[in-house]
Amino acid sequence: MKEIKKIWRARKWMKSNEPFLYAWHAHVGYVHDLFDEFESGSTVSSVATKRDMNELLLTRWADVGVAIGHLTNEKNGNIRSKKHMVESISKNSDQSVGILLKEMMELHIPILLSYPDLLNKDQHALYQDEDYGGTVAATSSFIERFAFPKIYQAIKSTNATSVIDFGAGYAGYLSRIGAKLEHMKLVGIEKNRSVCLDAEENIHFPLKSPINLYPDDMMTWKWDGEPFDVAMMNNLLYYFAPEDRVKLFEKAYEVTGKDGQLLIITPMHESKHGLAFSAAFNSFMSAHDNLFPLPSRKDLEELAAETGFQLKQVKPVVKEGAWYFLRFQKV
């Protein structure tokens, strides 16, 4: 009986790991544009020759793809990508979610896999913004598709005419605002210089309002112009220790005028949605010396009260990921 239980448990754990194959296979396909290569049907040999790839490993990748339904094996010997994989994973698809897989597979999972070693060491990992800034900025651009309607509604409902975005990344939110509204003053601050300098080529909307971007540290940057109606801080809080986040809110208060708004997109800990994700995200953050735990709603309400803001609105953006839109207003 004990042996049967052991076998049953082993099978159960093997089965629970099967979903990882889907993510792994899709990630490899995304990085090397393989779903595009096999979109019209092709042999592994011809793709390996064309791309100067290891044919044996490409064959094994294709075998997994056929087994899990990402690819089909045609009668003529060709391998063909399933339509939904080209739409979902190809870099050339406007429906692609491949960048999320890239961040998960290259950034998050390696750290989680190193947990056994990290638990036995005093020294944590160090997040290198120079290495991953582009990937994180691109992921943020994906999240903004879901978050922007809420930000746009907040701007329109208050007739705001000026917005500053701290941690602007590729200026995704600002460019979406600039594409919809005329006569807006739009300013972005992005500490990662390479991301800031690459922002222009990542703006894919014709702009009705210009954007001014500054490669600078938001905490030391000074603004001597007219106050802004809206300050934004998206996907930013986990780069600051809980005791330092008050400075973020103080900065927002400093640069906004009377009745100014602070808009934040962030994952939240202990929220109504996405508990498993937020717990895993916190594990990833805590494994680094220079990343910090997710805030809870209570944390943010206390920060707001301490710095002259009041939390006015909370809405989920991506429930599965515990991502939320929060709107604060000066009181």
For the domain that residue 323 is a member of, what is the CATH number? 3.40.50.150
Tokens 């056929």 — which residue? Answer: 66
pLDDT category, 27, cuts 50, 70, 90? Answer: very high
CATH code for the domain in which residue 61 is found: 1.10.10.10
Kindly tell me if the per-residue pLDDT of 169 is higher than 90: no
Are residues 305 and 231 both part of a single domain? yes
CA distances in angstroms from 223 to 14, 120, 214, 216, 292, listed in the order given: 56, 46, 11, 12, 28
Radius of gyration of the chain, Cα coordinates, nearest whole angstrom: 23
What is the C-alpha separation between 249 and 148, in angstroms, rounded? 21
Q: Are 308 and 253 in contact (CB under 8 A)?
A: yes
Are residues 155 and 48 both part of a single domain? no
Are residues 70 and 172 both part of a single domain? no
Tell me if 58 is assigned to some domain.
yes
Tell me if 254 is assigned to some domain.
yes
Residue 159: burial class (beta carbons within 10 Å; 0-12, 13-18, 19+):
exposed
Structural domain including 19 reads 2-91
Tell me if 244 is assigned to some domain.
yes
Are residues 277 and 159 both part of a single domain? yes
Tally of domains within the chain: 2
What is the C-alpha separation between 145 and 148, in angstroms, rounded? 6
Are residues 307 and 202 both part of a single domain? yes
Kindly tell me if the per-residue pLDDT of 253 is higher than 80: yes
Q: Over the stretch 39-92, which tens digit does the pLDDT of each residue have?
A: 999 999 999 999 999 999 999 999 999 999 999 999 999 999 999 999 999 999
pLDDT category, 132, cuts 50, 70, 90? Answer: confident
Are residues 137 and 216 both part of a single domain? yes
- Boundary of a domain, candidates 61, 91, 121: 91
- Boundary of a domain, candidates 37, 61, 91: 91
Residue 292: how many other CB atoms lie within 10 Å: 19
